[in-house]
């Protein structure tokens, strides 16, 4: 059988070339599509603000025909009254204080003058007083032990008269109250000062100190003086 087509019109023999050519074209398109770069476009616009020049209006100067203010009233002339100098003035004669040669000078004998010593109201701290105040019951102790006896008696007095305030106990208030007082020249407690965290604790400390007895006053250089004494009182609630 003889083929009807012309052998030169048979393109199947070029299929390999067409395939390779198509492959090269596709690779080229793929390469350029990957290497293609694009940049975003900025669509933002800048708004311009137009500021007009300040308009300055010239204000014309208008002269008002204002009448001038009236002149101030003239001051009345002072009337001078002439008074005749009738009164007689007595001249004071100044006597000289210098002694003349003929004047005798009297010598006055001065006797010794007794100067009275003014008592100074001095407050001496308890730590440096020469003779400390004596608590009742400490008189029989030697002088070097009376100071310790005084402090022990004060502490015992606080313990025996101590009573925790009910209001402070219910509210759980506790702390330390610093008490400062003076023992005057008569032996009485005076000039009480307190520093407390609560007024209820201060009132209780005041009640305790006010019950102190009369002391034998302290002495400095053999004379009774005021003595300052301080004591802290602790208010502590014990957890049961």
Task: Indicate whether 152 pLDDT > 90.
Answer: yes
> With contact defined as beta carbons under 8 Å apart, do 207 and 164 qualify?
no
Quick one: pLDDT band at residue 18, thresholds 50, 70, 90?
Answer: confident
Cα distances from 132 to residues 80, 147, 157, 178, in angstroms, run: 83, 6, 18, 21
Neighbours of 201 (CB within 10 A): 23
Q: Is a pLDDT exceeding 90 seen at residue 118?
A: no
* Choice between 113 and 125, residue whose per-residue pLDDT is larger: 125
Residue with tokens 């009297």: 106
- Asked if pLDDT for residue 75 goes beyond 70, the answer is no
Give the span between the Cα atoms of 154 and 92, in whole angstroms.
76
**What does the radius of gyration of the chain's CA atoms come to, in whole angstroms?**
60
CATH number at residue 195: 3.30.1150
d(CA 214, CA 189): 7
| pLDDT score, position 85 | 59
Alpha carbons 227 and 180: distance in angstroms, whole number? 11
Q: Which two tokens stand for residue 40?
A: 């975003």
How many domains in the chain? 1
DSSP state of 197: S
Give 49's pLDDT tier (boundaries 50, 70, 90). Answer: very low
How far the first Cα of the chain sits from its last, in Å, is 129
Q: Is 18 left (phi over 0), alpha (psi -120 to 50) or beta?
A: alpha
Domain membership of residue 226 (yes or no) is yes
Q: Is 139 contained in some domain?
A: yes
Let me know if residue 58 belongs to a domain: no
- Say if 19 falls within a structural domain: no
Asked if the structure places residue 86 within a domain, the reply is: no
Give the pair of three-digit tokens for residue 138: 């400490």
**Confidence check: pLDDT of 105 > 80:** no
Residue 6 counted as domain residue: no
Burial class (CB in 10 A: 0-12, 13-18, 19+), 87: exposed
Average pLDDT, the chain: 77
In which element (H, E) is residue 21 found? Answer: helix 15-35
Q: Report pLDDT for 229.
A: 94
Would you say residue 155 lies in a domain? Answer: yes
Q: Report which of 238, 236, 231, 235 is spatially closest to residue 157, judged by C-alpha positions.
A: 231
Q: Specify if 96 maps to a domain.
A: no
- Expressed as residue numbers, the domain containing 177 is 123-235
Pairwise pLDDT comparison (174 vs 64), residue with the higher score: 174
């Amino acid at each position: 059988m003889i083929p009807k087509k012309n052998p030169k019109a048979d393109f199947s023999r070029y299929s390999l070339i067409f395939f390779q050519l198509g492959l090269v074209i596709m690779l080229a398109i793929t390469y350029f599509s990957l290497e293609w770069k694009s940049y975003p476009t900025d669509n933002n616009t800048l708004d311009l603000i137009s500021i007009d020049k300040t308009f300055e209006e010239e204000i014309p100067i208008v002269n008002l025909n204002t009448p001038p203010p009236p002149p101030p009233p003239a001051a009345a002339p002072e009337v001078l009254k002439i008074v005749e100098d009738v009164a007689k003035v007595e001249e004071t004669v100044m006597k000289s204080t210098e002694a003349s040669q003929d004047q005798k000078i009297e010598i006055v004998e001065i006797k010794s003058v007794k100067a009275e010593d003014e008592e100074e109201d001095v407050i001496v701290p308890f730590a440096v007083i020469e003779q400390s105040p004596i608590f009742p019951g400490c008189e029989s102790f030697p002088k070097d032990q009376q100071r310790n006896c005084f402090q022990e008696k004060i502490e015992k007095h606080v313990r025996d008269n101590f009573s925790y305030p009910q209001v402070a106990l219910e509210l759980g208030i506790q702390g330390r109250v610093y008490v400062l007082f003076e023992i005057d020249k008569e032996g009485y407690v005076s000039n009480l000062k307190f520093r407390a965290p609560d007024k209820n604790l201060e009132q209780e400390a005041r009640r305790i100190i006010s019950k102190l007895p009369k002391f034998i006053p302290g002495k400095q250089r053999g004379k009774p003086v005021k003595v300052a004494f301080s004591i802290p009182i602790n208010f502590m609630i014990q957890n049961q």
